[in-house]
Structure 1
Amino acid sequence: MRNPLMIIVAAVVCLLACEKDISVNLQQQEEMLVVEGKFESNRYPQVILTHSLGYFSHIDPAILLASFVHKAVVTVSDSTRTMTLREAVVNVQGLGNIFAYIPDTSIPFAAFKGKPGNKYTLRINADNKSYESVTTIPQTGFQVDSIWWKLVRVDDSIRARLYARITDPPELGNYARYFTRRNSDPFLSSLNSTLDDQVVNGTTFEILVDAGIERNKRNINLDTASLFNKGDTVTFKFCNIDKATFSFWRAIDFAYNSNGNPFSSPIKVQGNVPGALGYWGGYQVTYRRIIVKK
């Protein structure tokens, strides 16, 4: 009788003998403009412009700093007015100083804030190319009725889950994205930050509000990342958005959650700035605040 172990060893040797080095020539993608533009209700717009980086590019702070696009001409218009955004150094909580295009509020009548129900056109001229995108700050949409918390035990500690009760109007086609802020931390989105009314149209329903996470961090504990601690002051930022903004962020969430999963379906992140990557989005914002008692 043959020794089974020897058969396995012989099979492994044969496989090793058949190994062949394979070189894959990955095509370099053309550098593209990346737009991250938002216009919230009762706030001024902000547009961040960068150049895209290769998927396998080495990334460090110097490379990220060099990716910002300078000296672009950026304007935002409604049906009657146009404001020019100027490049400035903006401090973003959690990120530090970055370059962004914002209106010059020191000049009277040179800037205007976002208003629900209005449509806004973003125009960009950068690197001798022109780009244009349109977004709307919704007039109506989901309404946040209330928020509350419940204590749960996880990892031998007591934490809290946050819930919200929301009412959807009878008209189909409402979209939203939400953020949370813990104490004085920055507003962060959760792993699944978007919702629509395809299933809940015209009803009052409850959602589980996951805590926002810092997506640049590694080794996130998914068992506790969505929870809050006793004593936290939580600010819930709920935003009604248009369909294009919803589709962009839903795809981003899906891509992030499926990263590294060999069984997930491929997805293309569809922005709403033709010729560029990214998005220009309007947000109708509502805030709610709650304290998780100790």
Structure 2
Amino acid sequence: MRNLLMIIVAAVILFSACEKDISVNLQQQEPSLVVEGKFETNRYPQVVLTHSLGYFSQIDPAALLASFVHKAMVTVSDSVRTMTLLETIVEIPGLGPVFAYVPDTTRPSTAFKGKAGGRYTLKITADNKSYEAVTTIPLHNFHLDTIWWRRARQGDDTLKARLWARITDAATLGNYARYFTRTNSDAFLPGLNSTLDDQVVNGTTFEIPVDAGVDKSKRTDPETYGYFNRGDTVTLKFCNIDKATYSFWRALDFAYSSTGNPFASPTKIIGNVPGAIGYWGGYAVTYKTVIIRK
């Protein structure tokens, strides 16, 4: 009887403590520069600059539009040549028109495209501060040999298919990749876990299933995730990346997948632009397409 009384008293104290008003003084942080820069093989670089938003900020189209950083000085160098990137409006599949910094392609003598094996330095001057980051576009040490599809039975539904890929990894340890898929004429989208390393598969040829990419601004249906439909034309965009780019996207994928999980460990997203948030990444790109017959 005494033990029961002690439990009741403890419960009353606990719930009364939960009802106590708690005031937390959250310090306002200065907005940070957010960098999303990529340089793909046979393409010009593209850099999007924004200011970070507060954790409790209301995020709407007006807030996103106001976050873009204008009138920055942005250059990309390959140690021999340097090109200046100019602010313009570009159409990004899945996002629509955004402000981005790209080379002046009307002056081809001052602009150059990415090459496998290249090393590229990004320099940014914005808000009276300077930033510098380096990335590489690796060689195709992860070689995408071929892709194909297999019929997948999902309950009574036989209209679904899974994509498979055969990849050969070079014998040198330390290769990294990221992938995207496109269905028919839609945008290229990354998978929930879009990165790959060769710690286990070093120097081998292996086959893996490739999940369909997802729009991470929308809720994912676990019943249909990863599948394609019979009749789809699927393109796989397979990219060799360096370790810094791999680490950034691997952590970001994990953080996204862990959202709402109370048992998940906190994830620290580490970019490669000192003093800013985000990344400057190089991609050695290979495309392969397959038609999934009905």
Change (3 A) 1:285 1:58: same
Measured in 2, the distance between the counterparts of 1:238 and 1:16 equals 54
2:103 is aligned with 1:103: yes
| 1:153 to partner: Cα distance | 2.1
Number of residue equivalences: 291
The within-5 A match list for 1:106-121 is 106-121=106-121
Measured in 2, the distance between the counterparts of 1:46 and 1:129 equals 20
Match of 2:224 in 1: 224
Match of 1:199 in 2: 200
The within-5 A match list for 1:58-73 is 58-73=58-73
2:254 counterpart SS class: helix
Q: String of CA shifts for 1:59-102, please: whole Å, max 9, x gaps.
A: 10000000000000000000210000000000112211100000
Unaligned residue ranges in structure 2 (runs of 5+): none
Change (3 A) 1:31 1:155: farther
2:245 counterpart SS class: helix
Q: Which moved more, 1:63-72 or 1:107-116?
A: 107-116
The within-5 A match list for 1:171-210 is 171-210=172-211
Unaligned residue ranges in structure 1 (runs of 5+): none
Measured in 1, the distance between the counterparts of 2:165 and 2:110 equals 38
Q: Which moved more, 1:192-201 or 1:11-20?
A: 11-20
Match of 1:160 in 2: 161
The within-5 A match list for 1:20-99 is 20-99=20-99
Match of 1:239 in 2: 239
| 1:154 to partner: Cα distance | 1.9
Measured in 2, the distance between the counterparts of 1:221 and 1:249 equals 22
Measured in 1, the distance between the counterparts of 2:231 and 2:46 equals 33
Alignment-mate amino acid for residue 182 of structure 1: T
Measured in 1, the distance between the counterparts of 2:186 and 2:201 equals 32
| 1:7 to partner: Cα distance | 11
Measured in 1, the distance between the counterparts of 2:131 and 2:235 equals 35
| 1:161 to partner: Cα distance | 0.7
| 1:120 to partner: Cα distance | 0.4
Measured in 2, the distance between the counterparts of 1:33 and 1:280 equals 13
Alignment-mate amino acid for residue 27 of structure 2: Q
2:86 counterpart SS class: strand
Q: Which moved more, 1:6-15 or 1:139-148?
A: 6-15
Change (3 A) 1:292 1:23: same
The within-5 A match list for 1:245-260 is 245-260=245-260
Measured in 1, the distance between the counterparts of 2:136 and 2:108 equals 25
Q: Over the residues paired in the alignment, what is the CA RMSD in angstroms?
A: 1.9
Measured in 2, the distance between the counterparts of 1:178 and 1:81 equals 30
Alignment-mate amino acid for residue 42 of structure 1: N
Alignment-mate amino acid for residue 88 of structure 1: T
TM-score of the aligned structures, taking structure 1 as reference length: 0.94
| 1:12 to partner: Cα distance | 6.0
1:254 counterpart SS class: helix
Measured in 2, the distance between the counterparts of 1:284 and 1:108 equals 22
| 1:26 to partner: Cα distance | 2.4
